[in-house]
Amino acid sequence: MSEPLHIVQYPHPVLRTVSKPLERLDQNFQSTIRGMFELMYAAYGIGLAANQVGLPFRFFILNLMADPNQPEHEQVFINPEIIKRHSGEEGEEGCLSLPALYGKVHRAKRVRVRSYNLKGELVEVDADGLYARAIQHEIDHLDGKLFIDYLSVLKRATVSKQIRQFEKDFAESQSIGALASTETLQSQVNLIRTASVVPAPVLPPRLPAGVERPSGSRETTA
């Protein structure tokens, strides 16, 4: 990657690209994961999918504490698959690629997910509540879906102005050359997708020690 790892904003085409399963891991992967956690913490999120940083591969990260000072809660899911879903409930969600936009989404209350960890071990995890919701949200990202796709007609109408503003801002960035055309961006994504491993990242700056979440911040953003 020629530019620093960063969170892409809607409507970047990588967010609508179905991610490719990872075939193997290398030392660059660890650097990518660390960079993603840094970006997630800086944005006060609890989860981040690979395609949210322009990488169309099937992995995502979570830390439900959203706290860089609690690394013991960090999790990495590689080639995840939901194998069981139970019940259902509605809850509020947000997205780091659609900042400051929130809406209620109906999802399974409990899930069982099978994935590989950083050691290459195949593991199964049972999750409920926010944990289950975050997993489903991130796997949707890997399938090219966004939480706004699940909003009710009424709710979609109430946030339509925000969505149009994202699209307008994106188009303006393209018009001044800050972003490539959508066709070029999609071509770049398709090229990255042909790789068998995650490209070496240009890492973002590390967070200063002791960074804290601001009071009143939302904790359902991923």
Strand spans (E) along the chain: 47-49, 59-62, 75-86, 89-95, 98-107, 110-116, 122-128
Q: Residue 45 in contact with residue 96, Cβ under 8 Å?
A: yes
What pLDDT is stored for residue 219 in this prediction? 47
* pLDDT number for residue 209: 43
Which parts of the chain sit beneath pLDDT 50?
1, 208-217, 219
Domain locations in the chain as residue ranges: 13-193
75 phi and psi, to 5 degrees?
Answer: -135, 145
Residue 196 confidence (pLDDT):
82
Average pLDDT for the chain: 90
Residue with tokens 């393209």: 174
Confidence (pLDDT) at 203: 64
Q: Where are the alpha helices (DSSP H) in the chain?
A: 27-42, 129-142, 153-175, 182-193
Residue 27's pLDDT is what?
A: 83
pLDDT of residue 62: 98
Structure tokens at 76: 């990495």
Q: What is the DSSP letter of 83?
A: E
The number of angstroms, rounded, from the C-alpha of 19 to the middle of its chain's C-alpha atoms is 12
Quick: pLDDT tens for 34-74.
999 999 999 999 999 999 999 999 999 999 999 999 999 99
Res 24: pLDDT: 86
What is the CATH T-level fold of the domain 13-193, as seen in this structure?
Peptide Deformylase (3.90.45)
Q: Which residues are catalytic?
A: 138
Phi/psi of residue 211, nearest 5 degrees: -65, 140
Q: Which two tokens mark 148? A: 């706004």
CA distance 174 to 180: 6
d(CA 193, CA 185): 12
Which pLDDT score, from 0 to 100, does residue 54 have? 96
CB 47 within 8 A of CB 137: yes
End-to-end CA distance of the chain: 23
